[in-house]
Structure 1
Amino acid sequence: MKYLFILNDPPYGTERSYNGLRLARELLKDPKAGNEVHVFLLGDAAACAKSGQKVPQGYYHLESFLKMIARAGGEIGVCGTCMDARGINDTELVDGALRGNLAELSAWTVWADKVLVF
């Protein structure tokens, strides 16, 4: 199956983005299942892809979740307009995340068998 995850919430303060990334990662764990995953970070979720985040010990670290998804073959797009509005430039994105746009999100939506919004 082909899954598109659209995340809207900030990386911390709520657990919506965290839970969306947990599910995306879980779908990629078994390569035999043949799942494909794309994640698009929109609005405040663009901050999830900022590298070098420092979080309290024992707290979840979204940078590591995004890196795991990318290493497992998942694609990660980050809304460029949302990045600009939050002062995030391309060089600050975690490895595997790329600046995207609504045309890309539209194409990914058509590509997907299932779209999950968090």
Structure 2
Amino acid sequence: MKALFVLNDAAYGSEHTYNTLRWAGAMAKLPDSEVKIFLFGDAVLCAKAGQQVPEGFYNLQLMLDKLLATHDGNAVGVCSSCLNARGISDAELMAGAHRSSLTELCEWTAWADKVMVI
């Protein structure tokens, strides 16, 4: 199955984003699955490189890294307008994440068998 997860919520502060990335990671491990992640709004901070969280706390950058390493076909797109609004440059994004657009989100939506918006 080809699945697209669209995240809107803050990277930290609630468990919505954490649980969605857990779900996407589990789905990416299934045979014949492909997962793409699109980050909107405050969720763009999930793809910020160099995150340092307190010991024992989940790290969303590492979760995205694991998802990207699961198998080919995984991708992380980050809303360009949302990055600009938060003053985040392309150089600040983690490896594997890229500045994206609504055009690419539309293409990914057409590609996906299932779209989950969180």
Pair in the same fold by TM > 0.5: yes
Is contact 1:49–1:63 with CA below 8 Å preserved after alignment? yes
Task: Provide runs of 4+ in structure 1 moved above 6 Å.
Answer: none
Partner of 1:100: 100
- Which one-letter code corresponds to 1:108 in the other structure? W
**1:46 Cα deviation from its structure 2 partner:** 0.6
Over the aligned positions, Cα root-mean-square deviation in angstroms equals 0.8
* Unpaired runs of at least 5, structure 2: none
Secondary structure of the corresponding residue to residue 55 of structure 1: coil
Contact 1:66 1:94 in 2 (8 A): no
Find the aligned partners of 2:93 and 2:10 in 1 and give their Cα distance: 15
Which residue in the other structure is 2:51 paired with?
A: 53
Aligned match of 1:43 in 41, 44, 49? Answer: 41
**Structure 2 CA distance, aligned partners of 1:110 and 1:28?**
19
- Looking at structure 2, the residues matched to 102 and 48 of structure 1 have their Cα atoms a distance apart, in angstroms, of 18
Aligned length: 116
What secondary structure, in the 3-state scheme, does the structure 1 residue paired with 2:94 have?
A: coil
Q: Give the secondary-structure state (helix, strand or coil) at the position aligned to 1:108.
A: helix
* Residues in 2 aligned to 1:51 and 1:18: alpha-carbon distance in whole angstroms: 17
TM-score (norm 1): 0.95
The CA distance in 2 between the partners of 1:15 and 1:27, in whole Å, is: 18
Gaps of 5+ in 1: none
Amino acid in structure 1 at the alignment position of 2:25: R
